[in-house]
């Protein structure tokens, strides 16, 4: 059914974190602890009365830039048929082509793109996963939010216990501490605490050089990890490939890349066993689906990064059994919750993404633009 976009609302929302968060980038002096996350929400309205909701985000700097770019290019959608998502993505890219096809510009488009897919699924009366063609109605999940380096190991162990008791299936902890001995002691403590059969992953957040990654990677082999994440700089495809060939433990990366082309370099080099795209970072669902085709062709496992409200649907539609990263940080932004039990996130049958923006998120709005017909 032909429809027309009549208006959009863009909202910049600042989510305060309960505690300052530190991973290896903080311990090595590259970043300050993270105290908030900036979200860009897009609400797209049509003449038929439907509304689609999408979002993107930026940790630390970048939120205002995403909002400003979206506000500039979004008016080009007024009067367009929202069904033509791929064409509209291209139109928005070319509207801001002078600032590139990756990074903040396409991350700004991502929120709108997600809203258009949400809208399309709602029109069909289907969840987004069903619209895309789901392979499963639940996805394996692991927790990250309880394993950061700023927390003493006793708290990490307590967090792991609580996560597993809540139905989450695996535990990921941060490594990349300036002391390799500290890293190994923390991993050993968690492995002994959760047992040999519980899936355990580690994430170095790009903080090792090649020799260090090789040495610590070998030392980690005894713990039976599901993967070692971002052991090297995210753009070091050759280094990741060499590491993947030399270690038994799977290598995972991709979350920091901001385009399909950058992920293709990982795939082309055989740099990862597990690819970790982030739909809001690479330009939305339209681009994620392009990447998913490449990853499937390469027979890669997929473990999308963050934003589980979006990625649960995309992972459910990926042919090979994936993983989803669980973060509880985003809970205050939405009225709904994903169901978690038996180690898996279970998708609801609510149309679209199945989420609505909460009143609390509205209160955290720091900037807003209403485009086209009034709300």
14/9 Cα distance (integer angstroms): 16
Q: What is Dmax (Cα atoms) for the chain?
A: 61
Is 60 assigned to a binding site? yes
Say if residue 361 carries a ligand binding annotation: no
As a whole number of angstroms, the distance between CA 73 and CA 132 comes to: 27
Work out the burial of residue 260: count CB atoms within 10 Å of its CB; fewer than 13 is exposed, 13-18 middle, 19 or more buried: buried
Q: Which residues are catalytic?
A: 174, 305
Q: Is 165 exposed, middle or buried (0-12, 13-18, 19+ CB in 10 A)?
A: exposed
- CA-closest candidate to residue 229, choices 259, 199, 249: 249
Q: DSSP per residue over 95-151, as a string?
A: HTGGG-SSTHHHHHHHHHHHHHHHHHHHHHTSBHHHHH--S-SEEEEEE-TT--TTS
For tokens 């039990």, name the residue.
341
Q: Is 229 annotated as a binding residue?
A: yes
Query: Residues 6 or more apart from 32 whose CB is under 8 A from it?
Result: 26, 60
Residue 203 labeled ligand binder: yes
d(CA 190, CA 348): 32
Give the residues across from 139 on adjacent strands: 345
23 is in an annotated binding site: yes
Pairing, β 228-229 against β 251-253: parallel
What are the Cα distances from residue 153, in Å, to 199, 290, 341? 18, 40, 26
Angle in degrees, CA 88, 112, 18, rounded to 5: 160
One-letter-per-residue 3-state SS of 166-200: CCCCEEEEECCCCCHHHHHHHHHHHHHHHCCCCCE
Instruction: State yes or no: 295 annotated in a binding site.
Output: no
Rounded-to-integer distance, Cα 86 and Cα 66, Å: 20
Please state, in angstroms and rounded to a whole number, the distance separating the CA atoms of residues 102 and 121. 26
325 is in an annotated binding site: yes
The residue behind tokens 């064409």 is 87
Tell me if 315 is assigned to a ligand binding site.
no
> Which parts are annotated binding residues?
23-25, 59-60, 172, 203, 205, 229, 255, 325
> Which parts are annotated binding residues for substrate?
23-25, 59-60, 172, 205, 325
> Which parts are annotated binding residues for Mg(2+)?
203, 229, 255
């Amino acid at each position: 059914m032909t429809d027309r976009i009549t208006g959009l609302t863009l909202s910049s929302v600042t989510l305060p974190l309960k505690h300052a968060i530190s991973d290896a980038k903080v311990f090595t002096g590259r970043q300050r602890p993270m105290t908030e996350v900036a979200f860009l929400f897009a609400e797209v309205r049509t003449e038929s009365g439907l509304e689609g909701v999408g979002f993107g985000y930026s940790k630390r700097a970048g939120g205002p830039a995403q909002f400003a770019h979206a506000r500039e290019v979004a008016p080009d959608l007024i009067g367009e048929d929202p069904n033509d998502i791929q064409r509209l993505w291209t139109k928005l890219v070319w509207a801001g082509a002078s600032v590139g096809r990756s990074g903040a510009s396409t991350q700004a488009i991502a929120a709108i793109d997600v809203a258009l897919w949400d809208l399309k699924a709602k029109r069909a009366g289907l969840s987004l996963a069903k619209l895309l063609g789901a392979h499963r109605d639940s996805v394996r999940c692991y927790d990250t939010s309880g394993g950061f380096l700023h927390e003493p190991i006793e708290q990490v162990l307590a967090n792991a216990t609580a996560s597993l008791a809540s139905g989450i299936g695996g535990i990921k902890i941060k490594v990349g501490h300036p002391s390799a001995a500290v890293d190994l002691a923390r991993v050993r403590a968690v492995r002994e605490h959760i047992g040999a059969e519980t899936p355990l992953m580690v994430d170095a957040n790009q903080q090792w050089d090649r020799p260090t990654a090789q040495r610590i990677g070998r030392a980690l082999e005894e713990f039976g990890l599901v993967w070692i994440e971002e052991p090297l700089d995210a753009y070091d495809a050759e280094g990741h490939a060499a590491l993947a060939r030399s270690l038994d433990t799977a290598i995972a990366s991709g979350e920091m890349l901001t385009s399909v082309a950058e992920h293709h370099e990982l795939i082309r080099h055989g740099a990862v066993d597990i690819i970790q795209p982030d739909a809001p970072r690479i330009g939305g669902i339209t681009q994620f689906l392009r990447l998913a085709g490449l990853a499937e062709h390469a027979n890669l496992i997929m473990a999308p990064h963050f934003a589980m409200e979006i990625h649960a649907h995309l992972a459910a539609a990926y042919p090979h059994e994936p993983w989803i990263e669980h973060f509880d940080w985003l809970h205050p932004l939405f009225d709904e919750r994903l169901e978690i039990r038996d180690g898996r996130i279970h998708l609801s049958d609510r149309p679209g993404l199945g989420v609505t923006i909460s009143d609390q998120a509205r209160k955290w709005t720091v900037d807003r633009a209403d485009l086209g017909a009034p709300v």
